[in-house]
Every structure is written in C-alpha cells, then in structure tokens.
Amino acid sequence: MRKMLAPQGRPQAEVLREMRDFKATDCDWTHGRAPLFVFKASDSLYEFGRAAFVEYFSENALGGGRAFPSVKRMEDDVVEMALSLFSAPDGAQGFMSTGGTESIVQAMQTCRDWNRRRRGQARHRGNIVMSETGHPAFNKGAKLMDLDVRRVPVGPGLELDAAALESAIDEDTIMLVGSAPNFSYGSIDPITELGAMALRRNVWLHVDACVGGYLAPFVRQIGRDIPAFDFAVPGVASISADLHKFGFCPKPASTVFYRDADKARHHHFDCNVWPNGRFLTGTLVGTRPAGGVAGAWATFQHLGVEGYRDIARALMGFIDRYKAGITAIPGLKLLGQPHLSIVAFGSDEVDIFRVAEVMARDGWLPGLVQKPKGIHRMMSMIHEPSLDEYLQAVRTALAEVRGQGPQRQATIKATY
C-alpha cells in the first residue's frame, strides 16, 4: 500500500526519535565499517564543519551574486586558495560544484564546446579516451551529451597503459582523461606522460583528482613521492577535485578548474529566453546549499597549510600500517601501487569475494573491485581506531573461507 501523508503532524521529538531508530539498520560508519562514502579527519573538525554549514543552512548559493554576497565572497576565496594548491598559472579559473560527478560533467561540457568553437563545427560531438580505471561519471556525462567514451585496458601492473591510450585517439577525440588517483587501485596515472601526449596530439587533458586533489599536495609537502598531476604538468587543461572527500569539508562541495580563461569561458550556462531575464549559472544544478560553500571556506581557514599537513602525516602513517598489516597476512597481496589512501588487496589462494561475504555477515560493508577480484577501501582517519579489529576480521574470515574449500563460491557482486 502506498504511503500517505498523515492527516495530522507528530511531535518533533517523536519524529527525531524515529529517525534515530532508522539508523539502527545503517552501516556503522562511525566505527570505520564503511569503506567509502564518509570522510573524517578528527571529531573536532567534523563538528566545526557542521557548525559552519548550519550558519548558512537557509541561504542558497544560486543567489550568491545578488542576495548573498557573503556566499559569493567565500566561494571566490575557496577557488583562489585551491588554484594555488594546483600550481595554476595566471589566468586560470575555477568554480565550485556539488560533487565530483558534477565537476566532471561540467569539464566535459566545457571541453566539448571549446572544441566546437576551435573546429568551427557547431554540432561536433567527438569522443573521450581513457583507461578502464577512469570514473563512471565520464560515461554519465557522455550519455547526457551523446559523446563516445573509449576505455582501454590497464597494463600488467594495473597501471594506465599510455601506448594503448594513444592508439585509441583519432581525429574526433576531444579529451584524454587521467586519474589522481584512480578509484579502483589508488594509483596516480602518469599525468606527465599524458600531458606530453595531449600537447603532441593537440587534445584536451582532464585530470580527475576528485579523490586525491586535496590530499596529494600535502602528502608531497611532508616528503612523500607523489607523481606530478596538476597544472605544473604542461598539457593539463582542467582538473576536478572534491572538497568533501580529502578536503574534509561538509557535503556537498567540489571544484573544477581550467588552465586559462579561453577554456573557462565555455563553462557557464547562459540563457536569456524567458520573461525573467538572463539565467547564468556555473553549475548543472540551480539551487545549491550555501552550507557547502561556508563549510569549505571555514575548513580552509581553520586548517591552513600546516593543518592539512598534519592530517596528511597522520593519515599516511595509518595507511602504511594498514598496508603492512594486510601484506603480513599469508595469502593476501596489494593490487597495484597505491599512492594515497585507496588500497585494494586480493588473493591467489582463495576467493576474496567469499572473504568479503564473511566479513559482511559480521557488519563490515564490503568495498570490492572485480578485475581482478579484490577488497577495496578508501580510508580516512575514521578508519584508524578500528585498524586492529579490521585486520583480525580479515584473518578470521580468511581462515573460515579456507576451511570451506573451493566448492563454496561467492555470490556477492562488486557494486559502488
């Protein structure tokens, strides 16, 4: 039977109590049992970001240019500070969005329209060439814009195969994609090599740094070997980076940047066909929660460079311990060469998906990759307190699966 709106309302306390009861069926993310979706640096930063968001709970970022100049000011500040992190040249421009998919789709649309002007072909659509490890958001954007996406297999070490990528380029290619890092195995693609390729083939290169954009610069600053991925690489035309991932800002908040104003001028939606006049937006959505802007601005102001370095130091120390703990378990191995905090591991001895099923039974939400099979986690400091518990859960599940023998097959599927 269809749910109906109740004839009369209920007391606020009763409604809130029922909502909290609903949460009993949710994954216990507060204790590190979710492998993605939630990001946290510390309890104090979490509470501070929430307070900043609530300060602008009712304001609409769509009205930042007219009704809420304070929102526009904070948005401009965030973009300017982020541009400096990504080695942006003079003239580079950027915009905030509500998430990585929106940032990616905006960059695709901007690239398409810039190419149409450059080619003098108002209806040219073209194709996008990328590794199979590139995010599905590019396929989503391609579906919306009727573009073709060409994905090429990874190399034997699960790394982007630059030669295969270049072989897929033709006269209709409008964009190459590199990831920093890719979501599947956590490795940063060879952006320097892709940048040279983009210049040689006269093609736009987009770097999807939605996961690593606000972590990699600080990990490099603390002395870790992080491959070049930003505008310091000649040939990089645009970058997407999520504030609400490893910028540790409240959701929803992401950013997209362009190397120069000539490219950026194709970013906006500009329409003047209705009685209310010109409608100009820099996002796919209209209304946006100003709390996302305020939370990002406040987080930047509170942490500064040193605060982000401290988080990077603590997080990468934890990741080192995590990788050491996994590889110390007989029968397990890391997949690829993770540079940041995404780590996937698999096994040549057992069905690792069956291990994930056993862990899921005990309350651990499984994150999986399917080619090759592996258990996948994108970790922040929310996962650090449960490290020993997690490793023990892996060992226990592995022993149980070994005891069952190969006849017991997993039924679980890799799902984002």
Q: What is the pLDDT of residues 262-317, one digit of tens each?
A: 999 999 999 999 999 999 999 999 999 999 999 999 999 999 999 999 999 999 99
pTM: 0.96
Q: What is the pLDDT confidence band of residue 367, given thresholds at 50, 70 and 90? A: very high
* Percentage of residues in the chain having pLDDT higher than 70: 100
What fold, for 28-43+305-404? Aspartate Aminotransferase, domain 1 (3.90.1150)
Q: Reply yes or no on whether the pLDDT at 406 is more than 80.
A: no
**CATH: 3.30.1330.60, 3.40.640.10, 3.40.50.2000, 3.60.15.10. Which one for 49-301?**
3.40.640.10
How confident is the model at residue 342, as a pLDDT?
A: 97
Q: Reply yes or no on whether the pLDDT at 407 is more than 80.
A: no
Query: Over the stretch 88-138, which tens digit does the pLDDT of each residue have?
Result: 999 999 999 999 999 999 999 999 999 999 999 999 989 999 999 999 999
Average pLDDT of the chain, as a whole number: 96
Query: Which tokens go with 64?
Result: 């930042």
Q: Reply yes or no on whether the pLDDT at 412 is more than 90.
A: no
Backbone φ and ψ for 38, nearest 5 degrees, come out as -125, 140
Q: Reply yes or no on whether the pLDDT at 415 is more than 90.
A: no
Query: Over the stretch 15-57, which tens digit does the pLDDT of each residue have?
Result: 999 999 999 999 999 999 999 999 999 999 999 999 999 999 9
What stretch(es) of the chain map to CATH 3.90.1150.10? 28-43+305-404
Q: Reply yes or no on whether the pLDDT at 416 is more than 90.
A: no
3-state secondary structure of 245: coil
Degrees to nearest 5, angle at CA 144 with 138 and 150: 40
How confident is the model at residue 399, as a pLDDT?
A: 95
The long-range contacts involving 62-68, CB below 8 angstroms and separated by at least 24 positions, are: 62/281, 62/286, 62/287, 62/288, 64/290, 64/293, 68/290
What sign does the CA torsion over 302, 308, 313, 314 have?
A: positive
Q: Which H, E and C letters describe 15-84, residue by residue?
A: HHHHHHHHHHHCCCHHHCCCCCCCCCCCHHHHHHHHHHHHHCCCCEHHHCCCCCHHHHHHHHHHHHHHHH
Distance CA 308, CA 320 (A): 18
Stretch 60-84: mean pLDDT: 96
How confident is the model at residue 324, as a pLDDT?
A: 98
How confident is the model at residue 48, as a pLDDT?
A: 97
Q: What torsion, rounded to 10 degrees, do the Cα atoms 76, 79, 84, 85 define?
A: 150
Residue among 93, 65, 91, 68 nearest 79 (CA): 93
Query: Over the stretch 140-197, which tens digit does the pLDDT of each residue have?
Result: 999 999 999 999 999 999 999 999 999 999 999 999 999 999 999 999 999 999 999 9
Stretch 370-384: mean pLDDT: 96
What sign does the CA torsion over 210, 39, 48, 102 have?
A: positive
Query: Which tokens go with 279?
Result: 């409608």
How confident is the model at residue 81, as a pLDDT?
A: 97
What stretch(es) of the chain map to CATH 3.40.640.10? 49-301
What sign does the CA torsion over 338, 93, 99, 194 have?
A: negative
